[in-house]
């Protein structure tokens, strides 16, 4: 059996690289818009640390990374998702 190499991605907040499984993935899907942990298109990653998930500049950073304006509804979903995780 060949060991699986973890896919490393960088958190847009603390800029540390993590195994993709330890990150929230936010994708700007071509058709469906901003999605959490699904969709295809330009993606940004945030690690699951409290510091990064509650980063006050997170919205700005995400919008810059995704080159898209985020719907405020998305943040409600995102915050609920984080609350579930913690």
Binding interface with Zn ion (CB under 5 A): 11, 13-14, 47, 52
CB distance 34 to 70 below 8 Å: yes
Decide whether 30 or 79 has the Cβ nearer to Zn ion.
Answer: 79
Q: Three-class SS of residue 28?
A: strand
Decide whether 7 or 32 has the Cβ nearer to Zn ion.
Answer: 7
Decide whether 1 or 86 has the Cβ nearer to Zn ion.
Answer: 86
User: What is the smallest separation between the CB atom of 44 and Zn ion, expressed in angstroms?
Assistant: 11
CB distance 12 to 46 below 8 Å: yes
DSSP letter, residue 48: S
């Amino acid at each position: 059996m060949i060991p699986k190499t973890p896919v490393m991605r960088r958190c847009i907040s603390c800029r540390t690289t993590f195994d993709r499984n330890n990150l929230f993935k936010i994708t700007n899907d071509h058709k469906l818009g901003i999605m959490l942990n699904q969709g295809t298109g330009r993606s940004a990653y945030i690690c699951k640390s409290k510091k990064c998930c509650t980063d006050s500049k997170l919205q700005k950073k995400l919008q810059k990374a995704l080159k898209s304006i985020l719907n405020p509804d998305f943040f409600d979903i995102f915050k609920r998702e984080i609350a579930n995780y913690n």
